[in-house]
Amino acid sequence: MKILKIYIDAYSGLSKESWMLAIVMLLNRMGSMVLPFLGIYLISELNFSLEQSGLVLSCYGIGAVLGSWLGGWITDRIVNFKVQALSLFLSAPLFLILPYFNTVLSFSIIMLILSTISEMFRPANSVAITRYAKRENITRAFSLNRMAINLGFSIGPSMGGFLSNYSYDLLFYCNAAAALIAGIVFVSFFYGRKERNTAENEIKDLKKPQVKERNAYTDMPFILFNVICLLFSVAFFQILNTLPLFYKDVVKMTQTEIGLLMGFSGFIIVVFEMLLIHYTEKKFTVTKLLVFGSFITAISYTIFSFNHTIGMLYLAISLMSVGEMLVLPLMSTVTAFRAQKNNRGAYMGLNGMSNAAAFIISPFLGTHIATSYGFDVLWILTSIVLIVVAIGYHFFTKPLLPKNMQ
């Protein structure tokens, strides 16, 4: 009963809007069937070379960076509702027409456009979380949203693996359907809905001395924080790029075993993230949690370089999941508190760009180091980078937060 009460407490106090934003994110990310199988589709179905496939995937990463910036920029000029709806409803037809592009140039262009439009959703969604969540629950609201993302990424690729046995076109069509359904649910619930605590915040703002609003792109303390976030993401996202190759080529795991191990990470996050955040945010400051999460992630990568037994691999992925649960939602929390009333989109967009840029850098850098020097060197270097990140968070996070959160 005590465990049940802890679970209830972890989810209590979150607004209806926070839950609906998470549900929309879940529906949208359940359609994430294309990306995990895109490289296989390009090589096996369209007969692209490995280099050509890499070019297309790079275009997706570039589009994600552009989308994060553009989504943030537009959100500050029109309401976040319109940006989210536009992104969802425009993504659906783009997924539908993907099977009709079969050259390297045309597929690269359509992937650039698609990822730009689909990634516009994220900064607008992050701004919406800050608008609808109670101030004291912002970190948990972001964690709920991330839990939805992880659950969607667990369901989507699993369904995608089944559907791809019949037809890759089904992946594109289901992805389109997921975006469309997410858009309908989003508009049905949020159309005409007033943002929570807006009037209260405006009254508070009138009582405060007027402070000139910062520019996210010239806010040097925030830029330094995002450089650290970029380094963390480049290191952490080896889990999506080189780690599966390591499991296959070095540990000699089957695809089923790899899938179970990767799925175990998603299971840990879905079950424990809200509990972990609920407990730790009361006991530790944001800065300490970012530092600790980065160190934990460094330890997990160090394990990969010294021990390849199944038990140790599961321990490493468990530690990595803990690090992920601590660091990724708190990146958004820091950004939310640094942003001001009229520039939340720009701040969320810039922080999103630091993550999106990692999708370009991480696979290229990881595969190059692994090919040239071996996986053990890659894991040691990744661990060193994460230790540097932990030190960076210690120094560069505090200036961005209120004193009681530092």
Say yes or no: 259 and 351 in one domain: yes
How many Å apart are CA 402 and CA 406, to the nearest integer?
6
* Side-chain-facing half-sphere of 287: CA atoms under 13 Å: 17
Say yes or no: 140 and 223 in one domain: no
pLDDT at 236 > cutoff 90: yes
CATH number at residue 67: 1.20.1250.20
Residues whose CB falls within 8 Å of the CB of residue 253, separated by 6 or more in sequence, listed in order: 247, 261
Say yes or no: 182 and 221 in one domain: no
**Does the residue 24 lie in any domain?**
yes
pLDDT tens digits, 126-175? 889 888 887 778 878 888 888 888 788 777 766 776 777 788 888 889 88
* Tokens (6 digits) for 275: 């509990």
**Does the residue 322 lie in any domain?**
yes
Nearest to residue 246, comparing CAs of 300, 295, 294?
A: 300
CB distance 348 to 335 below 8 Å: yes
pLDDT at position 206? 39
pLDDT tens digits, 10-36? 777 788 898 999 999 988 887 666 776
pLDDT tens digits, 253-280? 876 777 778 778 878 888 888 888 878 8
Query: Where is the domain boundary, 210, 241, 268?
Result: 210
Say yes or no: 149 and 226 in one domain: no
Total count of domains within the chain: 2
Torsion, Cα 291 341 73 174, to 10 degrees, reads: 70
Query: Where is the domain boundary, 210, 229, 262?
Result: 210
Of 196-205, 207-216, 249-258, 394-403, least confident by mean pLDDT is 196-205
Say yes or no: 124 and 173 in one domain: yes
Question: pLDDT averaged over the chain?
Answer: 85
**Does the residue 152 lie in any domain?**
yes
CB distance 335 to 229 below 8 Å: no
**Does the residue 5 lie in any domain?**
no
Say yes or no: 197 and 60 in one domain: yes
The proportion of the chain whose per-residue pLDDT surpasses 70, expressed as a percent, equals: 90
* Tokens (6 digits) for 175: 């992805």
**Does the residue 360 lie in any domain?**
yes
DSSP H helical segments within 284-343, as ranges? 286-306, 310-338
Domain containing residue 114:
15-210
Distances in whole angstroms, Cα of residue 107 to Cα of each of 34, 104, 116, 177: 13, 5, 14, 21
Q: How confident is the model at residue 105 (pLDDT cuts 50, 70, 90)?
A: very high
**Does the residue 8 lie in any domain?**
no
Query: Where is the domain boundary, 210, 227, 249?
Result: 210
How many Å apart are CA 325 and CA 273, to the nearest integer?
6
Say yes or no: 30 and 96 in one domain: yes
**CA terminus-to-terminus distance, the chain:** 34
Nearest to residue 33, comparing CAs of 176, 124, 160?
A: 160
Say yes or no: 222 and 83 in one domain: no
pLDDT at position 192? 84
